[in-house]
Amino acid sequence: MSAVPTPTPPRLRGLLGAALLAAAAALLAPYPDAAAEHEKAAPPALVPVHAALRPLKAWLRHEDWTVRSIAAFELRKRTETGAVHLAARLLHAEQHPYAAAGALGALRGRPRRELVAEGGPELAEALLRWARHEHPTVQAYAREVLFTLPPVKLGTKLEMYAGWWKRGRSALEREQRGLLESLRASAAKAGKAQGAKSTSVESGRKDDRFYGRLEHMRKHGLELCVVLDDTGSMGRVIGAAKAGAQRLIDRLRSYVPRFRAGLITYKDSAHLRAELTPNGDVLAKRFRKVAASGGADHEEGVDKGIRMALRDKRVGWSQRAHRVVVVVGDAPPHDRDVPGLLRSIQRARKDLLFDEKVVVHTVSTSSLPVLHFHQIALAGGGQHVTLRRAGRLVEELVLLTFGGAERERIQAWMVEIDKLRKAEP
């Protein structure tokens, strides 16, 4: 005798039907609805930041885009825990495209696991915004990073990523929290390693000095006095200086709006060609009047040119600005003048009338370093470089003036900024 099926009560049938519908919806939708889930989401996950990176946090929040951009550029070569997190935080709050490009550069090429763990939803939101930016380079960088975030490949159409994000935020949050558990454990273990603390403290002090100098420049100004040998052998270099005087002013003012430059030339004696001026046209005209001539003897009056730059009130140094003297030449000072010159430079650096110590750099324009130029730069707290090609004079002046002891650190950043400017829509 066959069993008679027991009829299901209407209320039970309704509950079963609702459960089946909910299960089907969960299977068909790869992610739950983001808006509903996010309302009851936990607070944002806390990402551990390695002690060596903590000094950068303040500079990444600085009011000036130049400082933020350089700090973001620095993150590109950092592999410590938290580098991706700091770049993502900057990108989320950033409005200036050049600073955003620095942060995006620090994210390009990073594994998806790092991007999700340290960036998470905050990074996804920022990338979607910058992926629509009008600057083509910034847009391309943002899309390159964005395309690695979803768990599956979605192609190259931005609409696909916007659709994924609309439904996938909560899933990304959950994935981030899971990854952070192992990340925090690894960071805690690494923090106990011997010597980690001392290394981070030293690098932090170096960063603070570097960014503190940039902050001072942007706030109080940057001033450059070029002390140029104008003897006959300097013809090519003087030609490059004439051609690039306007560019020198324009480039440095793009980094430091309150920038002024002046010019002194020397043979056996010194001549003030241009007091410090913010006017690129004026400086270019003064440079054009310089002609390479004379200089039959091997030594020249380098000391007279430097002393004029340091002592002559007509030069017009500001009390609070960051002051730089760059000596450009191919002949050494007279041996008898060197001891007194070095003492003069050291005294000038101790002058209490100025807030900042003057910095003296030297540029050798011959194939070999000019005798005593290294000593002069050392006494002046500056750098000595050898100019291999006359056409690079302006670039070296910019790097020494703005970058100083960190000229190599700044050079790659300047190249990046120049590319961004050329690509402006």
Rounded CA-CA distance 369/373 in Å is: 7
User: In a 3-state reduction of DSSP, which class is residue 195?
Assistant: coil
Please give the pLDDT value at position 12: 41
> Residues 81, 183: contact at Cβ < 8 Å?
yes
Residue with tokens 């140029």: 228
What are the chain's domains?
A: 51-190+201-211 (1.25.10), 221-422 (3.40.50.410)
**Which of 126, 393, 105, 369 is CA-nearest to residue 239?**
393
DSSP line for 92-134: HH---HHHHHHHHHHHTT--HHHIIIIIHHHHHHHHHHHTT-S
Q: Is 26 exposed, middle or buried (0-12, 13-18, 19+ CB in 10 A)?
A: exposed
Alpha-carbon distances, residue 166 vs 33, 156, 159, 163 (angstroms):
7, 17, 11, 5
Q: Is 28 exposed, middle or buried (0-12, 13-18, 19+ CB in 10 A)?
A: exposed
Query: Does residue 5 carry a pLDDT above 90?
Result: no
Query: Does residue 145 carry a pLDDT above 50?
Result: yes
**Region 175-185: what's the mean pLDDT?**
85
pTM given for the model:
0.78
Rounded CA-CA distance 288/301 in Å is: 22
Confidence band (pLDDT; 50, 70, 90) for 184? confident
Tens of pLDDT along 353-377?
A: 999 999 999 999 988 899 999 999 9
> Residues 268, 313: contact at Cβ < 8 Å?
no
> Residues 411, 251: contact at Cβ < 8 Å?
no
Rounded CA-CA distance 310/220 in Å is: 19
* Least confident stretch, 27-36, 49-58, 396-405, 410-419: 27-36
Query: Does residue 42 carry a pLDDT above 70?
Result: no
H/E stretch holding 224 reads: strand 222-229
Please give the pLDDT value at position 402: 93
- Beta pairing class for 270-277 and 259-266: antiparallel
> Residues 273, 313: contact at Cβ < 8 Å?
no
Q: Read off the DSSP letter of residue 289.
A: T
Query: Does residue 251 carry a pLDDT above 60?
Result: yes
H/E stretch holding 208 reads: helix 196-220
Rounded CA-CA distance 183/115 in Å is: 12
Confidence band (pLDDT; 50, 70, 90) for 16? very low
Please give the pLDDT value at position 48: 86
Comparing 221 with 40, which gets the higher pLDDT?
221
Alpha-carbon distances, residue 299 vs 13, 81, 233 (angstroms):
105, 55, 12
Query: Does residue 295 carry a pLDDT above 90?
Result: no
In our burial notation (b when 16+ CB lie closer than 10 A, e otherwise), range 299-313 reads bbbbbbbbbbbbeee
* Least confident stretch, 130-134, 172-176, 338-342: 172-176
**Region 306-333: what's the mean pLDDT?**
97
**Residue percentage of the chain with pLDDT more than 90:** 72
Comparing 404 with 3, which gets the higher pLDDT?
404
The amino acid occupying position 17 is G
Please give the pLDDT value at position 30: 43
Q: Can you give the three-state secondary structure of 335-369, one letter per residue?
A: HHHHHHHHHHHHHHHCCCCCCCCCEEEEEECCCCC
Q: Which token pair is 325?
A: 């003297």
For 57, residues 6+ apart whose C-beta sits below 8 A from its C-beta are 49, 86
Please give the pLDDT value at position 298: 82
For 159, residues 6+ apart whose C-beta sits below 8 A from its C-beta are none
**Residue percentage of the chain with pLDDT more than 70:** 84
Query: Does residue 15 carry a pLDDT above 80?
Result: no
Mean pLDDT of the chain: 86
**Which of 122, 108, 121 is CA-nearest to residue 75?**
108
